[in-house]
């Protein structure tokens, strides 16, 4: 039996189609780009890579299309040491894609879900042993909500804690909110969550990412803040996914919440140094060295 923490991720897999440009186009405007490249992405896949690089054994439950992107994306998981027995290939369906425009250290993204819409409760139930045998389950909202609900039910029945990254934001069913160990919104998602009648009841389970301002969370009834870091920003795509994957790996490995948040915050800061969501994701050793340097922002 592995001594590594075991994280199971249920989520999306995309091929990112990225173009860089000096100017973000306005509505109806055409501008010239500079570079175009493809990179493996999808919030679920990104988080899986981040967790694996932070030292976790990672299982993935998801779906790919019967196309060239699907073959490339499956191979990418294998290259990263992520187990793919829970990934189904859906005939006559395209793999998910994300079209990303990068300009002035910011991004705009259009996601076409493709096979991710076929990650059904039936697929999750087929691979439920991966959930039951994990130390932590991590999910996002790029697969159908009924699949999120089914995963939470299986994890809760098995006593496996769940981290839910509520992105892209959707209203969350009561069953989901009541059975997740942690919910990790950014500031925009947090504002939307405040409309939920159960919002006050989950305050101590919220871990709020605030970009270069750091992270806010509650530990043992006390509100805590971890500041941001001074880093050279190249591409912010995937920073939140890096945070969530690293957080899941650290908590699955038995770290305290404060230590896990600190490590995840540092991993996210390191991730923005290179183009592409997964390219800049750091190893656990990278994060440990970075934390020792302690380059906090002022």
For tokens 């299309």, the residue is 65
Three-class secondary structure of residue 273 per DSSP: coil
For tokens 């981040």, the residue is 50
Of 106, 241, 259, 286, the active-site residue reads: 241
Pure H helices in 81-186: 121-126, 128-132, 145-158, 174-178
Q: Are 36 and 19 in contact (CB under 8 A)?
A: yes
Question: Catalytic site residue 16?
Answer: no
DSSP 8-state code for residue 107: E
Pure H helices in the chain: 43-53, 68-79, 121-126, 128-132, 145-158, 174-178, 187-193, 239-252, 257-271, 284-293
Structure tokens at 41: 């992405």
Listed in sequence order, the residues at least 6 apart from 214 whose beta carbon sits closer than 8 Å to its beta carbon are 225, 226, 227, 228, 265, 297
Using CB atoms within 10 Å of the CB of residue 166, give its burial: 0 to 12 exposed, 13 to 18 middle, 19+ buried.
Answer: buried
HSE, CB side, 13 Å, CA atoms: give it for residue 93: 18
Q: Which residues are catalytic?
A: 241
């Amino acid at each position: 039996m592995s001594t590594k923490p075991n994280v199971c991720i249920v989520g999306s897999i995309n091929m990112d189609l990225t173009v860089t440009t000096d100017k973000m186009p306005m509505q109806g405007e055409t501008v010239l780009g500079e570079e175009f490249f493809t990179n493996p992405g999808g919030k679920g896949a990104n988080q899986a890579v981040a967790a694996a690089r932070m030292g976790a054994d990672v299982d993935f439950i998801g779906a790919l299309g019967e196309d060239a992107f699907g073959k490339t994306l499956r191979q990418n998981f294998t290259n990263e040491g992520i187990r793919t027995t829970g990934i189904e290939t859906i005939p006559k369906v395209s793999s998910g894609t994300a079209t990303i425009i990068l300009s002035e250290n910011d991004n705009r993204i259009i996601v076409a879900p493709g096979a991710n819409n076929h990650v059904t409760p039936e697929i999750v139930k087929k691979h439920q042993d991966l959930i039951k045998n994990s130390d932590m389950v991590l999910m996002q909202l790029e697969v159908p909500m009924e699949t999120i609900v089914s995963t939470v039910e299986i994890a809760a029945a098995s006593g496996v804690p769940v981290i839910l990254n509520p992105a892209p934001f959707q209203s969350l069913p009561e069953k989901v909110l009541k059975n997740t160990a942690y919910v990790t919104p950014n500031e925009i998602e947090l504002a939307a969550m405040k409309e939920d009648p159960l919002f006050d009841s989950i305050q101590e389970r919220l871990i709020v990412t605030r970009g270069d301002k750091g992270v806010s969370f509650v530990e043992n009834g006390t509100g805590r803040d971890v500041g941001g870091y001074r880093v050279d920003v190249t591409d912010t795509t995937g920073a939140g996914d890096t945070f969530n994957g690293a957080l899941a790996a650290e908590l699955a490995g038995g770290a305290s919440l404060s230590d896990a948040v600190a490590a995840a915050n540092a991993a996210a800061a390191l991730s923005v140094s290179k183009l592409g969501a997964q390219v800049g994701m750091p190893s656990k050793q990278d994060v440990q060295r970075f934390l020792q340097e302690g380059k906090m922002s002022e």
